[in-house]
């Protein structure tokens, strides 16, 4: 989960899909446990926000039931109003029935008051209210709420049916209103020989960014025998892969050391989806995000020629063996494919033609960067 933008506002990850599923399941089990054996309740969802919650709740409810909906409206933008409009009313005969209201969120209680007004004269057997989220700090009514999924702070949220000006309902997670990110952060990718290091140096100077190379960070920590460096060396000496947690903590330390930076170029990280998710989570906690994954795209045959030529002076043995070079490309393509899908799903993947003069390639990257 990473920061999302809806129109003029930004929202940071708040509650993930796993937690939401657990909350809904627990609510359904609570309701079922409280009902007499053989009781067939009618669940009434309050549209529009509850449609995902209601659907998942009904799937989790282990028993016979009926479902209906009432459409009310009280929000304008990020503010709740005192005026509640009933747009679609109840059509079923509820006489003698057990009615359980399904609400996505209860804050001031204005909508809840209207709900009680609607059902006051319906001659129901009993009326109960189950809400996915509750904001106790702003609740102003003396009205009962029978089931609360999760109490939250008084901050505007979107996702899982909740919206901002009609947008955001389709997100499967919950996002919380946050400040506008101040940084521009990119993940720079490119196969061996694509000129990634050269372009990183130009971008660093052009945009006042901090270039974080995973290799450089590892070498620094190991050479200076930092706590993380010693831990990484221990794994490496034993022939084991360095755990993601160690690598991520090294990068976190680099980011914290440059808190006033205009942004970061992450070079050589992330390499897996789990690392990408961890980086997103870390930056989201700081109110920041990865703005783009920029990948330099160069035909393999051109790269082979470049590396073989470089191998004549670089002193690197893996630059002189074409078989080893192509194996490195295979490894790169495998890893990049996973990350490409991950960032592409967020509309953050940008493939850049890496063939041409250094200046032309820099202009292509800058064109993307300037639009972030």
Distances in Å between the Cα of 231 and the Cα atoms of 226, 242, 272 are 8, 9, 21
Which residues of the chain are modeled with pLDDT < 70? 73-88, 314-319
Give dist(CA 226, CA 206) in Å, integer.
32
State which fold the 4-178 domain adopts.
Answer: Rossmann fold (3.40.50)
**189: helix, strand or coil:** strand
Q: What is the pLDDT of residue 189?
A: 87
Tell me which of 310, 335, 340, 364 is the catalytic residue.
310
Q: Is the CB of residue 188 less than 8 Å from the CB of residue 294? A: yes
Q: What is the pLDDT of residue 339?
A: 87
Residue 310 a catalytic site member: yes
Residue 5 a catalytic site member: no
Tell me which of 135, 184, 196, 348 is the catalytic residue.
196
Classify 263 in phi/psi space as left (phi over 0), alpha (psi -120 to 50) or beta: left
Q: What is the pLDDT of residue 330?
A: 81
**364: helix, strand or coil:** helix
Tell me whether the CATH fold assigned to 4-178 matches the one assigned to 186-370: yes
Show the 3-state SS of 182-229.
CCCCEEEECCCCCCHHHHHHHHHHHHCCEEEEHHHHHHHHHHCCCHHH
Give dist(CA 322, CA 272) in Å, integer.
26
Please state which of the four CATH numbers 3.40.50.300, 1.10.1370.30, 1.10.3720.10, 3.30.390.50 is assigned to the domain occupying 186-370: 3.40.50.300
Sequence ranges of the domains in the chain: 4-178, 186-370
Tell me which of 328, 335, 340, 364 is the catalytic residue.
328
Q: What is the pLDDT of residue 238?
A: 82
User: If residue 157 lies in a helix (H) or strand (E), which one and from where to where?
Assistant: strand 157-158
Q: Phi and psi of 178, rounded to 5°?
A: -135, 175
Residue 234 a catalytic site member: no
**104: helix, strand or coil:** strand
Give dist(CA 288, CA 296) in Å, integer.
24
**293: helix, strand or coil:** strand
Tell me which of 21, 59, 140, 316 is the catalytic residue.
316
Give dist(CA 261, CA 181) in Å, integer.
12
Q: What is the pLDDT of residue 92?
A: 81
Residue 169 a catalytic site member: no
pTM value > 0.75:
no
């Amino acid at each position: 989960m990473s920061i999302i933008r809806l129109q003029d506002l930004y929202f940071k990850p708040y509650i993930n899909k796993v937690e939401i599923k657990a909350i809904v399941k627990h609510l359904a089990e609570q309701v079922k446990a409280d009902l007499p054996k053989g009781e067939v309740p009618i669940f009434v969802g309050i549209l529009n926000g509850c449609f995902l919650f209601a659907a998942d709740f009904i799937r989790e409810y282990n028993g016979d039931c009926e479902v209906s909906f009432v459409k009310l409206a009280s929000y304008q933008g990020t503010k709740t109003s005192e005026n509640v409009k009933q747009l679609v009313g109840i059509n079923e005969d509820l006489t003698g029935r057990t009615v359980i209201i399904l609400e996505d969120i209860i804050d001031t209680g204005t909508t809840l008051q209207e709900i009680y007004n609607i059902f006051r004269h319906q001659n129901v057997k009993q009326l109960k209210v189950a809400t996915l989220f509750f904001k106790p700090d702003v609740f102003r009514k003396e009205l009962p709420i029978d089931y609360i999924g999760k109490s939250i702070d008084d901050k505007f949220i979107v996702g899982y049916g909740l919206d901002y000006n009609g947008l955001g309902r389709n997100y499967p997670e919950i996002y919380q209103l946050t400040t506008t990110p101040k940084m521009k952060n990119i993940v720079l990718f490119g196969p061996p020989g694509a000129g990634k290091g050269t372009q990183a140096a130009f971008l660093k100077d052009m945009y006042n960014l901090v270039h974080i190379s995973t290799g450089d960070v590892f070498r620094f920590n190991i050479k200076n025998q930092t706590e993380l460096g010693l831990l990484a060396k221990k794994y490496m000496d034993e022939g084991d892969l360095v755990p993601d947690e160690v690598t991520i903590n090294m990068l976190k330390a680099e980011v914290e050391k440059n808190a006033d930076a205009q942004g970061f170029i992450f070079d050589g990280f992330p390499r897996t989806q789990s690392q990408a998710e961890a980086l997103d989570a870390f930056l989201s906690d700081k109110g920041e995000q990865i703005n783009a994954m920029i990948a330099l795209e160069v035909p393999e045959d051109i790269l082979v020629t470049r590396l073989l030529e470089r191998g004549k002076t670089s002193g690197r043995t893996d630059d002189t063996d074409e078989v080893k070079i192509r194996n490195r490309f295979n490894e790169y393509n495998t890893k990049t494919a996973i990350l490409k899908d991950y960032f592409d799903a967020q509309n953050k993947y940008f493939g850049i033609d890496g063939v041409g003069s250094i200046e032309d390639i820099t202009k292509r990257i800058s064109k993307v960067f300037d639009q972030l």
